[in-house]
Structure 1
Amino acid sequence: MNTIGLIIFMVVTGSLIAGFTNMLAIRMLFRPYEAKYLFGIKLPFTPGVIPSRRSEASTKLGRIITGHLLTPDVFIDKVKSPETDRFIMNFIDRQIRTIEEEKLSIGYFLERLHAGLSEKVITGFNAELENKISEESEKLYISKIEDLMPRDAMHTIDMKVAELRPQLTRKLEEYMASDKGYEDLYTMTDEFIEKRGRLAKSLKYFMTKENITLNIRKELMKLIHHPKMVDIMEKFIIEEYRRVKGRPVNDFLSEDDKDGLVISISSALEARIDVRSLLDKPIIEFNREFFDSFKERGKYTLKDNTINYLAHNMGRIMDKLQLAEVIKKQIDSFELAHIEDLVMDVAKKEFQMITLLGFILGAVIGLFQGIVVVLL
């Protein structure tokens, strides 16, 4: 082989080897997608670089994106931008207009969140109401009467009880001085005389029943004003009053009475607080002045508070969203063929240049080797 032929041969050989090596290296970035085995032994370089490092690459890519690209500061700047301000304001205006024109209710929004949520709210509210009443009734059921009364009310009752004895004495006087009192005394006197034998009956021969009745009434009048009787009555009233107010409620109410009272109170409150009607009532009808005020001024405060909340809590929100994990899962869910097509579409020209560069470098190296061989 002559000198020129040798050099051309080495140039072509070097170019082909280098070019096809680069083509194979690019191909092996993705191919094969799965590990290949020969006689049970895993072949080297299988699967390709990207398939074998897919999980590690997706994890690092997620961290890079969330750590350097989609950072909380980026979102905060976006949230505070004029575009976001206008977007949130337009959104609030649309919602206000829809609520006003279509007369939407709280129940409507609850149903939009989840079907049947309104009914669950009503049932839950009534159940909670009954539970609270039942809990309080249990406490009240074992409480003393005096502990249930407000201090001012208890003081007023104490004063009224202190005035009870004179009132009872006055009532007794009025009763005995009345025709009804006289008739009752006369009847009792007559029964007493007729049922006490001959000695008692003989009294009517000395005194008439009318006189006996009048004398008894006179003595009773003296008795109720006697200092000792007054003292006995006052002590009895005070002791009974203290005993009653020191007793628990369950001394006066049975368990059935208490349960019935709880049911009655719960039913009355449920009817009074008609949650269903409140949920079905249009929002603008709750308080028209408040709604108009919110439409004119309050919406701006809501917009500012929303932006401030998002800005101050963006870090926590992103932590909750776990964007790095989301990105990793999305990348892992892609088919390798799809990822390969995406990479090839993006870097097609660059890979072609790498292949071409391989051919050129191979040719240059072949030329250099050919010259060295000829010279030696």
Structure 2
Amino acid sequence: MVLVGALIGGITNSIAIKMLFRPYKAIYVKRWRVPFTPGLIPKRRVELAEQLGKLVTTHLLTAEGLKKKLESSLFMTEMTEWLKKEVKKVLRSDETITSVSEKWFGITDGKKQLESKIDEWLEIKSVELLTELRPKRVKDVIPENLNKKVEQSIPQVTAVFIEKGKHYFETEEGIERLSNMVDRFLSGRGTVGNMVSMFLGNERLVDKIQPEIIKMLNDEGTHELIEVFMKKEWEKLKQSKVEDVEEYVDLQQMVYFLKQEVMENVPVHYFDEPFHRWTQQYEQHLLNDLTPRFVKKVGQTISDELVYLLKKLKLEEVVKHQVEQFSVKRLEDMVLSISRKEFKLITYLGAILGGLIGLFQGIILIFLQ
């Protein structure tokens, strides 16, 4: 009876363990389904998948738990160090912006696209700027510091203008030009001009006029006159509209010149140069300043939007779907690989309990006889 009880207990527990997974599918005799088929887990797979999905989202991958992980100093340090290594690899590689953009983003002509986009953007902005500025007065357009600089520079410009004038009229070219002007003036006066020429005799009128012009230019009154004139003209210019100034200054040409300057100074040549040739000057800044800030900013953003992200990811449905697609055979192998020893002990325990029950029954029979 002990042997029979032990055999029954062991076999019963072993069958019960097997019935957790097997049979994998329901067994039918004609239209009648054999009881206890399929096994417990295959039969309850949908419910199991649903409960596992709820378990993962409610107790395992919770927003609070993930948020604590993201905000932990250890995680931030590890992510920063990892990103530093990856950035360093790129900065010291032979890759170029062109090759990286082609490999990662499928962009084959990034350089041309960038130049085209910059040119297009500058064209749009220049048209918008000119359209906005034309109705305005010059004084409302120019910066205050530029206005002050112009006003402060008028005396110096006047002094330079006078010095240049004196120097010019002291040169042979200046004297010759002045002489031609005097001759044209006298010839245009007819008899009066001839009388002046006869009165001077062999002396040239220009020899008398030139020193007087130099003296006039050296006079403080001349300097003050020219300075006042330039200030008045500057004030008059500031009161003018930009569209009026455009009659004398080709703003379109100026804008075109500025566009060309911008395009020439955009470092598009970096697109075809290996990273290690031009990133050395930026490496420390990128690694020590921008990378930690980037990791912190991304971590903070993800942490703030974590609840929304988890809702959008629909982890419960993902887990449920994955479990439903999971092979029962593979699941059985996984469980047995972890708990085979425990299942054997359960089988042995059933045999022991069955043997003890058989022993107890045998003792009762002996007493009854």
Scaled by the length of structure 1, the TM-score of the pair is 0.51
Task: Determine if contact 2:111/2:271 at 8 Å carries over to the other structure.
Answer: no
Deviations 1:347-373 (A, max 9, x none): 222222222222222233334444545
Task: Determine if contact 1:35/1:43 at 8 Å carries over to the other structure.
Answer: yes
Per-residue deviation at 1:36?
0.8
Task: Determine if contact 2:98/2:109 at 8 Å carries over to the other structure.
Answer: no
Mean alpha-carbon deviation: is it higher for 286-295 or for 93-102? Answer: 286-295
Amino acid at match of 2:296: D
Per-residue deviation at 1:278?
6.6
User: Structure 1: how far apart are the matches of 2:21 and 2:72?
Assistant: 42
Task: Determine if contact 1:62/1:324 at 8 Å carries over to the other structure.
Answer: yes
1:301 aligns with 2:288: no
Per-residue deviation at 1:55?
2.6
Tell me which of 326, 331, 337 is aligned to 1:339.
Answer: 331
Tell me which of 361, 366, 372 is aligned to 2:353.
Answer: 361
Scaled by the length of structure 2, the TM-score of the pair is 0.52
Could you tell me which residue of structure 2 aligns to residue 21 of structure 1? 12
Could you tell me which residue of structure 1 aligns to residue 136 of structure 2? 151
Amino acid at match of 1:72: A
1:314 aligns with 2:303: no
Amino acid at match of 1:25: A
RMSD: 4.6
Tell me which of 344, 349, 365 is aligned to 1:352.
Answer: 344
- Write out aligned runs for 1:96-175 (5 A): 96-102=87-93, 104-114=95-105, 116-119=106-109, 126=116, 149-152=134-137
Could you tell me which residue of structure 1 aligns to residue 45 of structure 2? 54
Deviations 1:202-235 (A, max 9, x none): xxxxxxxxxxxxxxxxxxxxxxxxxxxxxxxxxx
Per-residue deviation at 1:275?
10
Report how many residues are paired: 254
Per-residue deviation at 1:128?
11
Per-residue deviation at 1:118?
4.4
Per-residue deviation at 1:33?
0.9
Deviations 1:62-81 (A, max 9, x none): 33133222333333333344
User: Structure 1: how far apart are the matches of 2:59 and 2:44?
Assistant: 22
User: Structure 2: how far apart are the matches of 1:69 and 1:318?
Assistant: 13
Amino acid at match of 1:18: G
Identity rate of aligned residues, in percent? 30
User: Structure 2: how far apart are the matches of 1:60 and 1:125?
Assistant: 56
292 and 356 in structure 1: CA distance in 2 versus 1, 3 angstrom threshold: closer
Unaligned runs of at least 5 residues, structure 2? 141-242, 244-255
Amino acid at match of 1:16: L
Could you tell me which residue of structure 1 aligns to residue 368 of structure 2? 375
Tell me which of 58, 76, 81 is aligned to 2:67.
Answer: 76
289 and 352 in structure 1: CA distance in 2 versus 1, 3 angstrom threshold: closer
Q: Which secondary structure state, in structure 2, belongs to the residue aligned with residue 34 of structure 1?
A: coil
- Higher Cα radius of gyration: 1
Per-residue deviation at 1:108?
3.8
User: Structure 1: how far apart are the matches of 2:3 and 2:54?
Assistant: 46
Task: Determine if contact 1:118/1:279 at 8 Å carries over to the other structure.
Answer: no
318 and 107 in structure 1: CA distance in 2 versus 1, 3 angstrom threshold: farther
Amino acid at match of 1:35: A
User: Structure 2: how far apart are the matches of 1:314 and 1:337?
Assistant: 36
Q: Which secondary structure state, in structure 1, belongs to the residue aligned with residue 137 of structure 2?
A: helix
132 and 329 in structure 1: CA distance in 2 versus 1, 3 angstrom threshold: farther
Deviations 1:23-71 (A, max 9, x none): 1111111111111110232212111111111232133223313322233
Q: Which secondary structure state, in structure 2, belongs to the residue aligned with residue 102 of structure 1?
A: coil
Q: Which secondary structure state, in structure 1, belongs to the residue aligned with residue 291 of structure 2?
A: helix
Amino acid at match of 1:17: I
